[in-house]
Structure 1
């Protein structure tokens, strides 16, 4: 599936191919909560890094999240330097992948049949988790990857 996305102000637009376009993960970690706003839910999709096309690249800044007082994440969170919109995450651990944030995608995304709520151990106390029948909940990271989730449910495009 071709995904097209943009920042809020329109300075950055991008596209990439995705076999894993269902926005099923809801992350409650402090990084997602503080960089994406609200209760978190920075939903990462899986995309083919080789297919990424970007216009307005000069307006992109990269943030490496602090993991604690001394450690910094190797993952690169790309965002628009004009409006602050989160665009995608790239991790050198998986160089063939780009993880666009569902919030930046303009293409209509399919509705997932179930959700995975992860990193509940760092959820803000005021956040209420909206769990539906079939949803999975994890205090940390689930073992199942984005690709495995799509495969298990027969949802690869």
Structure 2
């Protein structure tokens, strides 16, 4: 599916091809919560990095999260792209998985298909004020799910 996206001020617009455009996985980790903020979680899609086309690239900024505590602090390899003018989170790309890019569902302007379920991950990092909304039988994980993005899509057709 061809996806069009943008930041709030429209200084950055992008397009990308996605075989997994269903916004189903809600990540409640502190990094997603603090950098994307939507509902205390972020919803990321999967797309083909090689098809990513960006206009307004000069307005892009990249944040690499610091993880750990004390002497065990390291910088994530994940590159969280956002608009330097309005601050909108746009996508995550990690050189560990160079073929994938994860646009934030909230940055997508195209009509997205509704998910058959939501997967709630990183609930161990969830802020206390955030309720876990969704269906009673939605899969929920304290940490990472036991399936990949591709496996979830294979399972759901």
Match of 1:114 among 105, 113, 117: 117
- Closer/same/farther in 2, CA of residues 118 and 5 from structure 1, 3 Å limit: same
In the superposition, the TM-score normalised over structure 1's length comes to 0.95
Contact 1:28 1:39 in 2 (8 A): no
Q: How many aligned positions are there?
A: 154
Residue 56 of structure 1 corresponds to which residue in structure 2? Answer: 56
- CA RMSD, 1 decimal: 1.0
Compute the TM-score of the two structures, normalised by the length of structure 2.
0.95
Q: What's the counterpart of residue 135 of structure 2?
A: 132
Report deviation, 1:38: 4.7
* Whole-Å separation in 2 of the counterparts to 1:40 and 1:127: 6
**1:94 is the counterpart of 2:74:** no
Q: Which runs of 5+ in 1 are unaligned?
A: none
1:20 matches 2:23 = no
Please list every run of 5 or more consecutive structure 2 residues that lacks an aligned counterpart in the other structure. Answer: none
SS at match of 1:137: coil
